[in-house]
């Protein structure tokens, strides 16, 4: 374990837990039982169990931390297995593992779906090399979901350190970023909306990536101001397929080598089954294509560039006008005194739906009428919420995204 004995692998100040690479090696070397279907109470135990299961080729069902969906606790005892002699052997074993990993979608718009992946799919986008070896990660995803696992593999394969910031307060996160020389942050746009702007910019951060939801220019501007030395990337990924695209702007591009596997059909992104995990074949169009549910706008047919508009099931019909709730939220969220908003439709017998808003304020006594007056200058009448409710907090999904159902 050259130069890795004392190096931090994982640190969670909120849970008072620390794992060095030496700890990781000895845990995996000596573990005798793998929990295969279990709801964990802390991230450290989950990560150690997960990496042990992958190294020893054990299939595992990834429930959320403290999940109530774990109906049966089960485990597998390790017998007659070959024990690792080095950290390098562990990493090679994880890369070549035959484990099947059952994941669950985020549940942004309803009941989470289960998807089974192999390690090859989960680590498909990992990049290794000298330019990655000094990265220090702020771990900002739920570790039981696709994005969390991909970040975990990216850091582990390059022997990086992780500082857990998932579900911490803004002040706690900023303190960790400032005091530990964090270089990389990958998180949902919702995470960054609650984090930025930051009064004292953090210059150590070199790479910021956003995934899981639609972003916008205003958010990216605030991120760049808060992390002036960072390269900012938008990531397109899903639990079903993993990471497919990245861009430094708002336009994604289907590269030539991907054009046989990703297409646009009726303004919806569809994905070839070979890029997916083990998914129900009845959900495939013509037995081949998976309809992602993401509506897109093609901006250049020759270069196959497109931008994400919204989720197909999120569009709201208001008097014959299709309203994208994310666009309305983007306008509201940039009004002084507003922390975050959530737009949804309520059935109306006359116009199909009326728009409603839940709004979280930030040090403000803004009223509903005052908010409507501001919106009258920014939006057409059919995009202005009829009902506005001020709330203390907006509900997030298990992956840290805004939950889009009541």
How far, in whole angstroms, is CA 69 from its chain's centroid?
A: 20
Is 70 exceeded by the pLDDT of residue 322?
yes
| 190: nearest Cα among 292, 329, 315, 322 | 329
Is 60 exceeded by the pLDDT of residue 110?
no
CB 98 within 8 A of CB 57: yes
Is 70 exceeded by the pLDDT of residue 5?
no
Is 80 exceeded by the pLDDT of residue 1?
no
Q: What distance in Å separates the CA atoms of residue 185 and residue 174, rounded to the nearest whole number?
A: 12
Is 80 exceeded by the pLDDT of residue 130?
yes
Measured distance between the N- and C-terminal CA atoms of the chain, rounded to whole angstroms: 50
Q: pLDDT band at 212, cuts 50/70/90?
A: confident
| Annotated domain spans of the chain | 8-234, 251-312, 315-391
Q: pLDDT band at 282, cuts 50/70/90?
A: confident
Q: In b/e form, how buried is each residue of 153-179, taking b as 16+ CB within 10 angstroms?
A: bbbbbbbbbbbbbbebeeeebbebbee
Residues in CB range of 82: below 8 A, 6 or more apart: none
Q: pLDDT band at 399, cuts 50/70/90?
A: low
What does each C-alpha distance from 406 to 95, 135, 358, 400 come to in angstroms?
A: 40, 39, 11, 16
Is 80 exceeded by the pLDDT of residue 336?
yes
Beta carbons within 10 angstroms of residue 287's beta carbon: 8
* 8-234 CATH pick, 3.40.190.290, 3.30.413.10, 3.30.230.70, 3.40.50.12780: 3.40.50.12780
Is 50 exceeded by the pLDDT of residue 2?
no
Is 90 exceeded by the pLDDT of residue 224?
yes
Q: Which two tokens stand for residue 213?
A: 């939801």
Indicate the length of the chain as a whole number. Answer: 406
Eight-class DSSP state of 342? E
Per cent of the chain over pLDDT 70 is: 93
Strand 252-253, strand 100-104: pairing: unpaired
Strands, E assignment, 196-303: 207-211, 231-238, 242-247, 252-253, 262-265, 268-272, 284-285, 289-300
- Per residue in 339-364, pLDDT (tens digit) is 889 999 999 888 889 999 999 998 89
> What pLDDT shows up at residue 309?
85
Q: Which two tokens stand for residue 176?
A: 């960790």
Q: Which two tokens stand for residue 130?
A: 């000298």
Q: pLDDT band at 4, cuts 50/70/90?
A: low
Is 50 exceeded by the pLDDT of residue 143?
yes
- 3-state secondary structure string, 379-394? CCHHHCCCEEEEECCC
Q: In b/e form, how buried is each residue of 252-274, taking b as 16+ CB within 10 angstroms?
A: bebeeebeebbebeeebbbbbbe
> Average of pLDDT values for 163-186?
96
Q: What distance in Å separates the CA atoms of residue 54 and residue 97, rounded to the nearest whole number?
A: 6
CB 394 within 8 A of CB 359: no
Residue scoring higher pLDDT (314 or 344): 344
Q: pLDDT band at 109, cuts 50/70/90?
A: low
> What pLDDT shows up at residue 217?
82
- Kindly report the pTM of this predicted structure: 0.80
Per cent of the chain over pLDDT 90 is: 65
Q: Which two tokens stand for residue 262?
A: 């990703």
Give me the chain's average pLDDT, please: 90
| 198: nearest Cα among 216, 218, 183, 177 | 177
93-99 long-range contacts, CB within 8 A, separation 24+: 93/54, 93/55, 94/51, 94/54, 94/55, 94/119, 94/153, 94/156, 95/119, 95/123, 95/157, 97/54, 97/55, 97/57, 98/57, 99/53, 99/54, 99/57, 99/58, 99/59, 99/60
Is 70 exceeded by the pLDDT of residue 72?
no
Q: What distance in Å separates the CA atoms of residue 301 and residue 310, rounded to the nearest whole number?
A: 20
Q: What distance in Å separates the CA atoms of residue 231 and residue 209, rounded to the nearest whole number?
A: 8
**Domain 315-391 - what CATH class?**
alpha beta
Residue showing tokens 């992602």:
292
Q: Which two tokens stand for residue 380?
A: 């057409």
Q: Tell me which of 13-22, 189-198, 392-401 is least confident.
A: 392-401
CB 110 within 8 A of CB 405: yes
> Average of pLDDT values for 26-53?
93
> What pLDDT shows up at residue 280?
79
């Amino acid at each position: 374990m050259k130069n890795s004995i004392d190096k931090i692998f994982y640190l969670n100040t909120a849970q008072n837990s620390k794992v060095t690479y030496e700890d990781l090696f000895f845990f995996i070397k000596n573990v005798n039982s793998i929990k295969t279907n279990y709801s964990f109470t802390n991230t450290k135990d989950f990560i150690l169990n997960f990496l042990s299961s992958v190294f020893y080729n054990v299939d595992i069902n990834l429930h959320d931390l403290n999940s109530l969906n774990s109906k049966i606790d089960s485990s597998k005892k390790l017998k007659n297995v070959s024990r690792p002699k080095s950290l390098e052997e562990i990493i090679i074993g994880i890369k070549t593992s035959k484990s099947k990993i059952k994941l669950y979608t985020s549940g942004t718009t309803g009941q989470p779906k289960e998807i089974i992946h192999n390690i090859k799919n989960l680590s498909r986008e990992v990049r290794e090399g000298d330019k990655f070896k000094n990265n220090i990660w702020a771990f900002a995803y739920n570790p039981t979901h696709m994005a969390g696992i991909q970040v975990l593999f990216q850091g582990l394969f390059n022997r990086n350190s992780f500082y857990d910031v998932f579900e911490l307060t803004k002040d706690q996160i900023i303190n960790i970023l400032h005091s530990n020389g964090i270089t990389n942050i990958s998180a949902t746009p919702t995470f960054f909306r609650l984090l930025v702007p930051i009064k004292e910019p953090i210059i150590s951060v070199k790479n910021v990536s956003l995934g899981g939801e639609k972003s916008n220019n205003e958010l990216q501007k605030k991120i760049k101001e808060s992390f002036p030395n960072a390269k900012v990337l938008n990531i397109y990924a899903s639990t079903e397929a993993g990471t497919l695209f990245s861009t430094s702007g708002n336009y994604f591009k289907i590269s030539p080598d991907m054009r046989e596997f990703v297409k646009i059909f009726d303004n919806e992104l569809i994905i070839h089954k070979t890029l997916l995990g083990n998914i129900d074949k009845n959900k495939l169009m013509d037995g081949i294509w998976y309809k992602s549910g993401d509506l897109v706008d093609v901006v250049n047919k020759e270069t196959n560039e497109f931008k994400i508009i919204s989720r197909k099931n999120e569009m709201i019909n208001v008097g014959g006008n299709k309203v994208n709730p994310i666009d309305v939220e983007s306008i509201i969220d940039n009004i002084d005194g507003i922390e975050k908003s959530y737009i949804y439709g309520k059935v109306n017998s006359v116009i199909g739906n009326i728009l409603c808003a839940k709004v979280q304020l930030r040090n403000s006594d803004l009223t509903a009428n005052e908010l409507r007056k501001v919106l009258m200058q920014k939006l057409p009448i059919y995009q202005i919420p009829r009902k506005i409710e001020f709330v203390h907090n907006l509900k997030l999904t298990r992956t840290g995204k805004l939950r889009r159902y009541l």
